[in-house]
Every structure is written in structure tokens, then in C-alpha cells.
Structure 1
Amino acid sequence: GTADAAGLAKAHIDEDFLLIYGDLVVSPDIIKKVIHSHEEEEPTATMAVTRVEDPGQYGIVNLDDSYITDIIEKPSPSEAPTNLANAGIYVLSPEIFEKIEQTPASQREEREITDSLQLLINDKKSILAVQVPSRGWLDVGRPWDLLEANRRILNGMEPRLDGEIEDGTHLIGGIVVAAGARIRSGAYLEGPVYIDKNSDIGPNCYIRPHTTIGKEVRVGNGCEIKNSIIMDKAHIGHLSYVGDSIIGADCNLGAGTTVANLRLDDKTVKMKVADEVLETGRRKLGVVLGDGVKTGINTLFMPGVKAGHNSWIGPNLVISRDVSPDSFLLLKQELAERGKKN
């Protein structure tokens, strides 16, 4: 758990220190604000908090003035004292290590840093809450949150063209083409777009805004990619469409693979996460593929589908449900052959 992870640093720390959860996208200004508030008020610990619409998804704090009196993990609507959520950014004193050692395991059989902080609160130690704006903070806890994180990061990106740009390409908006990457003739790139080292794009591709393409990716002729994350060494076969999707490393999409990202009834897309079907709140959401997924030609994915790592999906299949890792899906069909009538 988070407390165990923090406790590993004990031998290396003899002063107040910054701790940030690894699944956050946070602006530098927010981090500076938390540090400044801690230095100014000199509490035992400082926690960033932010207002959220659904307190039941977060650890919620109760306050006395600006100081935390209680931390309630994922409360029901009737139990939530506020809508101020733990933002996962702390400044802690070395006192926390003693409380980490005293922290019991949670229901998840993990030791949580919030439980260690609650022990400090129980000892009448001061835990300062610093409210930070949600626009500079994002909790990346669910698959589709990666697309929002990608959007925010690309919006703040500085354009740079270090790779090979062939004649006949069109580049519009903020675009990064890293060294060793190649954009072939006829490609149309509409930023913000990031293309990493040694990737090969085109010819005649349309790469639309908020697309990140990793290292050594091959995008074949006539493909369209929009608002997606394509991870290292993936191959998008010619004449494919990928929208609002996450494609894992080493995936190989056969020619004509199509991702549907919009429901026919125009309702928001749902996705299954840990055996629970969740409302994503997104009108457009495509597919999430684990590493090493392969598809045959003309595979069609319906909105909100996931395919587990190293799964193989045969040609001409319509995938309307999640695919298990290490599985092989094939289409069964019957062929009838007969002579031609005169």
C-alpha cells in the first residue's frame, strides 16, 4: 500500500518531504502552492484537497477551519461531510514514519498513508488542508482517464520538428516529430500531435488532434487516428481507423481494422472495469487494447470494448464485448459451393 511504499524511504529522509501519488497529472503551480503553504503554516503534515462531484469515489476530508479532523475513505452520499477529496499530494515530516509502522492493514489488505495521517490526527497533530483547483489536477484511475491526461499534456506541449518530413505533407497546429521519425508524403497532421522516435507514418494518413504515437510505431497507408494513444512498437495496418482509443505496446492491427467510438443512440459509452460496468461520461470512446494484441483484417471493435494482453482476434469479427487476455477468437462460418446454372 501507499504507507508501505512511503516507509521504504525512511532511511534516506531526515527533513520534511514531498509525496505525490504516481497516478496523477498535476500542474507545477499546484505543487508549488502546497509546498509554500506548508512552509508558511509549519504543520506536522500538509495535504492537498480538491472539490469533486462524486465524493464516493475518493477519500473525503472533514475540516475545522483549514485543518483536517477526519479522513473518510469513499463515503456514501449521506456519510460525506464535504466534497473535498484527498488530492494525493502531501508534504510530510519524518514523524510520519513512526505512524506508518503503527498503521494496520486496510480492508484491501494494504497499509494506506491516509490511515497513517489519521493516526497523527488522533494524536492532536496538525494536518493542514490546501485546496487546489481541479483544472490543474487529474486522477488517472480508470482507462479513459488516460485520454484526458493525454489531452492536457499535449495542450501544453512545445512544437518541435526533428524528424524527416517528406514533401507533400501538411502540418497544422502544435506538432512534435521526434528525431528518427518519418512522415511520408500525403500525410495530414492536425495538432496537437506527438510522434516519438523512429516511428513511420503514412503515406496518405490523417492524424487528428490529441494523438500521441510512441516509439517505433508503424502507421500504414490511408489510416486515420484521432484523440488516441498508440504505444511503442505498435503497428496500425493500412486503411484502419482508430478513434478515442488506447493501443498497447507491440499491438498489430490488421488492414482495415475499424474502431467504432460513437453509440448509434448517441448516449454516453459504458465500460466494464473490474467486473463492474461504469458510466464513462464520454460521448466518444473507442477501444482499450493491452500489449501484444493482434487483429486480423477487417476487425471491427464496438465502443467501450477492451481486449486483454496477447489476445488474438481473427479476421472479419465484430467485437462487442471484452476479450480475455491470451485468448484466440475466430469466426465460424459455413461455405456452400455449387455449380453455376446456365
Structure 2
Amino acid sequence: MTVCVILAAGEGKRMRPLTGSRPKVMLPLAGRPMLEHLICEVRDAGISEFILVVGYGESAIRDYFGDGTKLCISIWYVTQKRQLGTGDALLTVSPHVKEDFLLLNGDIVLKSKDVRNVLNIPAPAMAVCTSTHPQDYGSVTLSGDMVSGLVEKSPTPPSTLINAGLYHFDIKIFEFLKNITSSPRGEFELTDALMYYIRNGDLRGVLIDFWADMGSPWDLLGIHEEMMKTTPSKHEGIIEEGVFIKGNVSIGSGTIILSGTYLEGPCIIGENCKIGPHAYIRPGTTIGNDCHIGHCSELKNTIIMNRTNVPHFSYIGDSIIGSGCNFGAGTKVANLRHDKASIVIGGIDTRRRKFGAVIGDDVLFGINCSVNVGSIVGNQCRIGPHAIVEGKIEDKTVIR
């Protein structure tokens, strides 16, 4: 029986501040951790045995998934004690894998049919897909169906095909991994081991249809929008008279929706929340558990994590908000430039015309704060009344 190995040990530094208190693979997409979406797609491709390589924040992963019973699979865990790269991470499972296996990066989104297609190709094989910005990834060249070249993050990529982070390997990969040396950044890279296959003309490339990488917070919001399109309707909470619901809206148990609130799907509201009265929840919004969205507050296309409160007269659009935050009355998050150009954060083009802010955990805002487009607010910041927030704000900053 084929085993699937998933690399889930990394911190995800480019996702800061969202990964300050959780591993990257546990960031939510459409109400569930991204890793759960990935595991379910692989399961639906016919695999039931999983090995998760964990490290940073591993207790969150172990506690959530356990032995896999709730997903009707079996999960074993291997700990990468020091984050020394993808090659080192894979080498930690070598004592536990004795035949061909599937390998995936834990921070990607795939579809089961593509996983099945790669699995059906004899090992060694690697999934590839087309990208509009291949310079950000490993660019792949093919000769027929064989991989003939792989260049990492070149400003002049040789093709628009990229390495999708999904592999069907034989156990030779472990011997290749033992022979690689550390990269200039001090890590042992899986891609260096792939060159042994490529030089021998042994690595097949398999073109897949759907793929998304979670490299930066705005990537998270982009794929979240796509996933929300399939949100099912579920009303398990209490819905008062005078609430209007349009489209597919999921409401968790213990949640109360107060009179005058307008819910426009697709949107997801978790368990034990209080929404309204007269709140407006617009499409693409996901609200975690134990949240309060109050009177005349409006949320649009936004991820709100657990225990965050937006009590009254506030607006948040196209943003990602961590857990345990509180927005003072009248706080607004802008999400569109006057010139309608794409939002640039720290010199990086998000390729998004609308993007609000990334706000870490346990951030408290006073009344009537204004947060400008593309702002990143670190964990445990304290923002005083009437403050204007823009740019990157480091953890534990106090703005008076």
C-alpha cells in the first residue's frame, strides 16, 4: 500500500506574523487548516496511510489530527528536530519507508484527480504546472515527458512550467539525499537530490491542472476565495427573526445570529459566535470560533481567526486577522488604493488590486483607528484611539 509523506515541519517565515503562534500548515482556508484540505484530497485519491514530518509548532498538528481516525485514515508522525531544509526533512522518514511513496509539500493546495494522475505514473515522477510568474519557483524544462532541467527562482526562467511540490518517489531518493551538501542558506534541499534523477534521464514530469502555493499571506487569501465557492449551507446555530440569508452560508453550533443581520454567502461562521445585531457579512468571509461581530460592523472577503471581536461600527475588507484580536468601535481597514493599482507590501507586488491588512494575534485597537492598505501588524500590538496604521508594525509595538 502506497504511503503519503507530507512535509509539515517548517515555520513559514514569510507568513509572519500569522505563524508566530501556529505552524504554517495550520493556517485556515475556508474554515479548516490548509493541511486538512491537502490530506483530504490525497485520501480521496485512494491513499489512507500518512506520515507527517513535523517540527515547528508540532503539538498543534498532533492535537488537531491525532491518529487520523476522524478523517478515516492512519497518521504517523516523525519530528525534524532542527529545520535544516526539505532534504533533511525527507531523510527523517527513511527508516519508515521501504517502497515507492508519494511526497508532498504541506503548504500547497491540490485536487485529488491530479494526485491520482501522479500516483499512476511509475516512480520517479514529479508534478509540474504552468505559472504566470515562474521566476518565483523552481522552473522546469521537459524533453518529451522527462524532466531535463530544474532551475530555482531564476530571474530569467527557462520555461513557464514549475515544480509543484508533488512527487512519486522510489527509495533511491534516500541515497541521493545522503550525498547532497548544504545550500548557501545552510539547508539541505530536496531539489539538489532531484538532479541525480534528472542527469540520469529518469524523472518523469506530469502536468497537473490545479495547484496553489501558500508562500505569502496574500496567497492564502487568493486560494481562500476559490475554496469558498463550494461552501455548503449549514445552519446549526440560533437565527433570530429578521435575519436575511442569501446564498450558501455555514453557521456553526452555539452561534447566535441577531436580528437585522445580513449574511451574504458564500461565508462561514464558526461555533459559539455572536453576530449582530445589524451586522453585514459579505461573500468570501470566514469567521472562526468564539468570535463577536457586532452592531453595524461589515466584513468582506476576510479570514477572521478564533476569539476575535469586531464589536461595532467597523469595516474590514480583503484581510487576514489573527486570533484574540479586538477592534475598537469605528476602526476601519482600507483595501483599495486611490489609483486602483495592485497593492505592494515590502517591495513585493501582491498582484491584488484589493488587499487590506495582515494582523497578527492578540492585537488590540482603540476606537476610530484607520488601517491603510497593505499594512502588516505584528502580534500583541496595542494601537491607541484615532491612530493611523500603515506599513509594517513589529510585534508588541505600542502606538499611542
Q: TM-score, normalised to structure 1's length?
A: 0.89
- Taking the aligned partners of 1:172 and 1:296, their CA distance within structure 2 comes to 32
2:267 maps to which of 160, 185, 193: 193
Q: Which amino acid aligns with 1:149?
A: I
Cα offset for 1:76? 2.3
Q: CA deviation at 1:81?
A: 2.2
Opposite residue 201 of structure 1, the aligned amino acid is I
Q: Could you tell me how far 1:162 is from its partner in structure 2?
A: 1.3
Residues 19-168 of structure 1 aligned to structure 2 (within 5 Å) = 19-36=103-120, 38=121, 42-43=122-123, 45-77=124-156, 80-122=157-199, 124=200, 126-133=202-209, 136-168=210-242
Report the counterpart of residue 259 of structure 1 in structure 2.
333
Residue 220 in structure 1 maps to residue 294 in structure 2? yes
- Written as runs of structure 1 = structure 2, the 5 A alignment for 1:281-320 is 281-320=351-390
Aligned to 2:311: 237
SS at match of 1:282: coil
- Of 249, 257, 271, the residue aligned with 1:175 is 249
Asked whether the 8 Å contact 2:343–2:350 carries over to 1, the reply is yes
**Aligned-residue offset at 1:112:** 1.4
- Determine if the alignment matches structure 1 residue 5 to structure 2 residue 94: no
Counterpart secondary structure, 1:281: coil
Other-structure match for 1:14: 98
Unaligned runs of 5+ in 2: 1-84
Superposed CA offset, 1:81-110 (max 9, x none): 211100111111111111112221112211
CA RMSD of aligned residues (A): 1.2
> 268, 273, 276: which is aligned to 1:202?
276
In the TM superposition, residue 49 of structure 1 has moved relative to its aligned partner by 0.5
CA distance in 1, matches of 2:153, 2:391: 29
Unpaired segments ≥5 residues, structure 1: 331-342
Deviations along 1:10-56, whole A, 9 cap, x unmatched? 122112111111111212222122112x2xxx24x111111112221
- Could you list the per-position Cα deviations for residues 172-193 of structure 1 after superposition, in whole angstroms to 9, with x for gaps in the alignment? 1111111122211111000000
* 1:230–1:246 CA contact under 8 A, matched in 2: yes
Name the SS of the counterpart of 2:232 in structure 1. coil
Alignment match, 1:337: none
SS state of the match for residue 89, structure 1? strand
Residue 335 of structure 1 is matched in structure 2 by: none
Cα deviations by residue, 1:131-189 (Å, 9 ceiling, x for unpaired): 112xx211111111111121122112222111221111111111111112221111100
Larger relative CO (CA 8 A, sep 6+): 1 or 2? 2
Identical-residue share of aligned pairs (%): 39
Aligned length: 316
C-alpha displacement of 1:125:
5.4
What letter is aligned with 1:2? T
Which secondary structure does the structure 1 equivalent of 2:392 belong to?
coil
SS in 2 for 1:70: strand
The structure with more radius of gyration: 1
SS in 1 for 2:299: strand
Equivalent AA in structure 1 for residue 233 of structure 2: P
CA separation of 1:97 and 1:125: change in aligned 2, threshold 3 A = farther
Q: Distance in 2 between matches of 1:58 and 1:325?
A: 29
2:350 is paired with a residue of what secondary structure? strand
Query: Structure 2: how far apart are the matches of 1:199 and 1:4?
Result: 42
| 1:65 aligned partner, one-letter code | G
SS for the counterpart of 2:344 is: strand
